[in-house]
Amino acid sequence: MGAVFSSDMVSATKEIDPIGVQYTEEIRDSETVQSTASNDTEQCEKQEQWSELPSLPLENIYSFLRREDQVNMSLVCRSWSEEYGSPSVWKTFRFDLTESQLSLDTCPVMKFAQRYSSMFRHVEIETPLFSITNDLMRNFCRYVIQFLQILSKNTQIISIQFHSFSVCLIHMRNPPYNEICRAIADFLSSQQYLKRVEFHYCFFRYQETVEILRNIIDNSRETLTHLKLRGFSFEESMKIFKDSNVAQKLPMLADLPRLKTLDMDYSFIFENMVARQHDAISIQRAKNCQTLVLSKLILEYDNRLQQINKLRGLTSTDWWFIRKKCPYLQVELILRMDEPSRREREFFIVPNMPITRLDYKCGEFVMGMESNVLLGHLLACKTNDNLVTLHFDWGEFNHHPEEQTQHLSPIFVPFLQACKNLKCLELLTYSLTARILAGKSTRISRESANRYFIPTQRQ
């Protein structure tokens, strides 16, 4: 069959006019050229369509990319390059240097800061957490000072975050430490529209702590709404409080009339920002004093990082005064204690303290005894009147889960019945035997919180 077909094809080919063949080939070549041109046109049209993307989609694309990828994207075409220089791309800027960047004599990030810093609105400064040499750390200190000096020329920044400066501040000698603190203070003094300021584990000394806080308050007191000071200062002592001249330098909560959220460690700085000792006269005046808009106070205490003997504590009267000043205040209290004592519970949880969220984590203990004492204290302080969210991390115990459940059930039910506003309960326990379901936390709605208690265990 194939042979007959081949013979027919050869015979038919001999009968074709050579001129016709040439004409056919010319047509074929013409069609090929047209097809190639058509494909090129389609490619060009596609490229033109991509290059004609409106600003909003381009902004969204840029927002999902790392800075290096943004640079590559800006090289695609003219319109993408123009969008790269728009305020939306540079509204948020993160100063986070890699080890290779720290090894250079000149930081490449500085050219972007010099050119686009006027468009920065939200800035994060991250300290490298990888293991680096002293030379690289000195380079980081030098670069971050240069960056802050550039930022000081931009007075339109809305939020600033400093992360893990303790890595360089604790290990560097005084000159770099003093220079960084001075650069931070100068930057803060240049800003008048900050709404959000956050310090995450920077651990400044007392003198720099006061200066930084004063600069925030003196220059952004009318705009600041969110202040976070976690691991902010490490030099805290009752000696400072006893020195009235020194204590007076610390700011008061009333110095921030627009502040809505304060998130910080339960510390000496906090105690002096929120309230001082009030005599009978000041309490009477509190009834007529101007109220503040502060509505959320997040406090964390970890006895591994902070010693209770360095604190004076806030009394029930102090909290009464605070609630007069801040009638809409809600407190989220986070307690981390290896071996909690009655003194610590009574120190941090007092009457008139409007706790809406309690996050309580402790180490190994006898759960039945500990929970009985804790819940009894919460009821005595009327904490149940405001409590909306309750999280218990009971730590590890060596007793049988069934025995622990028997201890907990009669204790929790009356307590939950007294919590009229409770919407979420999270209970996490650890057992070496773990005979019940592992690794789950229990969430109980308001309707069921007063009726049911479901303990869970995790290995």
In the chain, the amino acid numbered 53 is L
The CATH number of whichever domain residue 71 belongs to comes to 1.20.1280
Q: Closest Cα partner for 449 from 406, 411, 418? A: 418
Q: What is the pLDDT of residue 176?
A: 79
DSSP 325-383: H-TT-EEEEEEEESS--HHHHHHH--TT--EEEEEEEE-S--HHHHHHHHHHHHHHTTG
Are 222 and 193 a contacting pair, CB within 8 Å? no
Q: Is there a domain that residue 377 lies in?
A: yes
In the chain, the amino acid numbered 449 is A
Q: What is the pLDDT of residue 37?
A: 46
In the chain, the amino acid numbered 22 is Q
- 402-452 residue pLDDT tens: 555 555 656 778 888 899 999 988 877 655 444 333 333 444 443 333 333
Q: Is there a domain that residue 10 lies in?
A: no
Q: Above 80 in pLDDT, residue 2?
A: no
Number of domains in the chain: 2
Q: Who wins on pLDDT, 24 or 220?
A: 220
Which residue shows structure tokens 């509204």? Answer: 91
Give the mean pLDDT of the chain: 76
Dig out the tokens for 445 from the structure: 């709605």
Q: Is there a domain that residue 58 lies in?
A: yes
Phi, psi of 204, deg, nearest 5: -85, 160
Q: Is there a domain that residue 365 lies in?
A: yes
Q: What is the pLDDT of residue 26?
A: 46
Are 251 and 212 a contacting pair, CB within 8 Å? no
Q: Is there a domain that residue 62 lies in?
A: yes
Q: Who wins on pLDDT, 440 or 69?
A: 69
Give the domain-ending residue among 89, 116, 135.
89
Rg (CA), the chain: 33
Lowest mean pLDDT among 266-270, 339-343, 351-355, 431-435: 431-435
Q: Above 80 in pLDDT, residue 124?
A: yes
**What's the count of helices (H) and strands (E) in the chain, helices before strands?**
21, 12
Give the domain-ending residue among 73, 89, 105.
89
Q: Above 90 in pLDDT, residue 275?
A: no
Give the domain-ending residue among 31, 59, 89.
89
Q: Is there a domain that residue 428 lies in?
A: yes
Q: Is there a domain that residue 407 lies in?
A: yes
Q: pTM, whole model, 2 decimals?
A: 0.78
Coil vs helix vs strand at 226: strand
Find all residues with CB under 8 Å of 39, minimum gap 6, and list them.
Answer: none
Q: The domain containing residue 402 runs over which residues? A: 354-458
Does the CA dihedral 96-102-104-107 come out positive or negative?
positive
Q: Is there a domain that residue 68 lies in?
A: yes
Q: Above 80 in pLDDT, residue 7?
A: no
The torsion angle over the Cα atoms of residues 143, 98, 154 and 84, rounded to 10 degrees, is 140
Query: Residue 342 — very low, low, confident or very high, per pLDDT cuts 50/70/90?
Result: confident
Counting residues of the chain whose pLDDT is more than 70, the rounded percentage is 69
DSSP 253-308: GGG-TT--EEEEESSHHHHHHH-----HHHHHHHTTSPP----EEEEEEETTT--G
- Give CA–CA dist 386/401, Å, rounded: 30
